Amino acid sequence: MKWDWSAVGDFMPHFWDGLLVTLQALALGSVISFALGLVWALLMRTPSRWVRWPVGVVTEFVRNTPLLVQLFFLFYVLPEWDITFSALTTGVVAIGLHYSTYTMQVYRAGIEGVPAGQWEAATALSLPRARTWTAVILPQAVRRVVPALGNYVISMLKDTPLLMAITVLDMLGEARLYSQQHFQFTEPLTVIGVAFILISYPASLLLRALERRLVR
């Protein structure tokens, strides 16, 4: 097998297009998962079981269903109900929804880790419930769980190639398309593998450093 540097050069414009799509899906999916995960976590702490029970059923179903199945459902089934999104939007929503059920557990752990004295102090100061959450509880809880949330960002990055199954041309999608058109698989797939390493490994080192800083 001979390495063809010209194939790498030809593939690079496609790679940059795929990288942009991958980063878009990752960024938007992360925003949805973080925001929705916090909503799930807060709803699970409401006193009403009529709220907790449906939220628990939905999140357990999503968490225990493969992401690929969810992608196919949103992309192929929803249009039958006249609900249609672009492939990229569908992928972003699926990733965000799927990982929100994991970030929910992270938030719950962070909230439960806030010392009881903080709740008691807020009560003693007669702070409104909303003020207690926004000024006392959530800032401490989120600070504790930032590294764990970052780990899920890396997991989302590694799951973005699944979007290729619904025609999204992310990095892997571009590599597959180029390979099929030019019958050269080694070079584009190697470039994609190296790209994932160059993104995920430094990110993991950054998360470790952030974790050490936050636990001081």
Look at the pTM and tell me if it is higher than 0.85.
yes
In angstroms, rounded to a whole number, what is the distance separating the alpha carbons of residues 48 and 50? Answer: 5
Residue position matching structure tokens 């180029």: 178
Determine the pLDDT at residue 165: 93
Contact (CB, 8 A) for 88 and 25 = yes
pLDDT mean for each 10 residues of the chain (216 residues): 74 92 95 95 89 92 95 94 93 96 93 80 76 79 84 93 93 91 88 92 81 66
Q: What's residue 46's pLDDT?
A: 87
